[in-house]
Amino acid sequence: MGIFTRLIGLQSVLLASFVLSLTIPNGYAAEQEAYSKVQEGVAKLGKQWNGEVNVATTDLFIELHNASDRSGVTLISDISYGSHELQVMDIVTPESESEELLPVVVFFHGGALVRGNKVLSSTDLMLTNIPTFFARNGMIGVNANYRLAPEVSWPAGPEDVRDVLGWLRENIEQYGGDSQRLFVMGNSAGGRIVASYLFHEPFHFVDGPGVSGALLSSASFRSSDSQVQRDYYGEDPEVRDALVPLGLVDFYYGPQIPLFMWSAEFDPPWIEGPIAMMYSKLCEKYQDCPRFTQFQGHNHVSHIMSLNSVNDEVGLELLEFIESTVH
C-alpha cells in the first residue's frame, strides 16, 4: 500500500495517533513519558554542539527507541554501490506488497566529513530509525554511507551521492521502489554533500539531477578555515568558498529542485546562520522560497532521531512535503 492511500492528509494521521493512544493507553503513556525525558534532556544540553552533546543526545533516545515499533519492514544490509568499503547502503522496505512502485528516500548521515555511519556504533536503534520510518509509511527507506576525509577530498562526497542515485535508478524497482520518485536527505555534513550534488550541474545525469526533491536537515553549508576543510577543499580560501554549497548555488543554472530545509531551536549559530543565508539565496534566485521550518525543542540531531517514535511532529512534516512534491 502506497503513501497516498496510507496517509490521507495530516489530520487523518493525527486522528489515527489519537485513536491509537486510546486503544493502548499503557504503552502510549510509557512512550510519552520517555519522550518527555528526551525533551527535558535536549533542552538542558542547550544551544551547543560537540561530540559530548552528540553522545548525550543519543543516550537520551535509546530508551525511547527501545519502546518504538519497528515491525512491518524488511532490512537488506550493506548493498554495495561502489568499490570502496564505505560505498554501501541499507534498504528498508515494507513487508506488505504494494500494487504500485513506492517513493524512495535515501539518507546520508552527518559527521563533519570525517566520521559517522549509517548505523550508530553505540546503538543499532539509530540511525536505522530513519529508513524504518519511511518504510513504515509506505515508502522505501535507504541509509547510505559515503567515503570520508582525510582519505578522500572534494568531490568525493557529491560523487558518492550521484553513484547512490545511479544505482537506485537502475536497481530500486526490484525492491519495489519507483526510480522516478527519488528523494535525497542529509543531516549536517550529509546535507552538505547532498547540497553539493544538487547545486553542481556537472555531477548530474544527462536528464537532470534525478531527484524529485531533497530534505536538508541542519545542513552544513559554509566554508571555514578548519583543518578538515583545508584537507577536503584545499588551502586556498577562495577555492573553499566556491566549492561549499553556499558558493556552488551562486553558479547553479540547472532546474529548480523542490527543497525542504530545516534547522533546530538548539542548533549552534554557525549552523543556523549559513542555513539562513542559503534560504535567502534560493529565494532571490528563483523568486520562490523553499519550504523551511525551525523545529522547536530540538538540537542538531534530535529531530532526525525522533523519527519512528511516539513524537511524530518532524515525521509528519517530512511526509507532507514528500506527498505534496510527488503530486
For the chain, state the CA radius of gyration. Answer: 19
**CA 43, 44, 46, 52 torsion-angle sign:** negative
CATH code for the domain in which residue 217 is found: 3.40.50.1820
- What mean pLDDT comes out for the span 306-316? 95
Return the top range by mean pLDDT from 2-11, 24-33, 236-245: 236-245
pLDDT at 202: 95
pLDDT at 21: 44
User: Residues 82-123: pLDDT tens digits?
Assistant: 999 999 999 999 999 899 999 999 999 999 999 999 999 999
Residue 271 vs residues 90, 266, 310, 315: alpha-carbon distances, Å:
28, 10, 27, 21
pTM of the complete model: 0.91
- What mean pLDDT comes out for the span 271-279? 97
Percent of the chain whose predicted confidence (pLDDT) is above 70: 91
Cell numbers at 306, concatenated: 525522533
- What mean pLDDT comes out for the span 240-257? 97
pLDDT at 27: 59
- What mean pLDDT comes out for the span 230-249? 97
How many structural domains is the chain composed of? 1
Beta strand pairing call for 88-94 and 140-144: antiparallel
pLDDT at 15: 45
pLDDT at 3: 52
Does residue 61 surpass a pLDDT of 50?
A: yes
pLDDT at 26: 53
Residue 205 structural domain:
3-326
Helix (H) or strand (E) holding 58: helix 51-66
Higher pLDDT, 28 or 320: 320
pLDDT at 29: 75
CB atoms within 10 A of CB 97: 8
Does residue 287 surpass a pLDDT of 80?
A: yes
Average pLDDT, the chain: 92
What is the rounded CA–CA span in Å between residue 80 and residue 191?
21
pLDDT at 150: 96
Does residue 163 surpass a pLDDT of 50?
A: yes
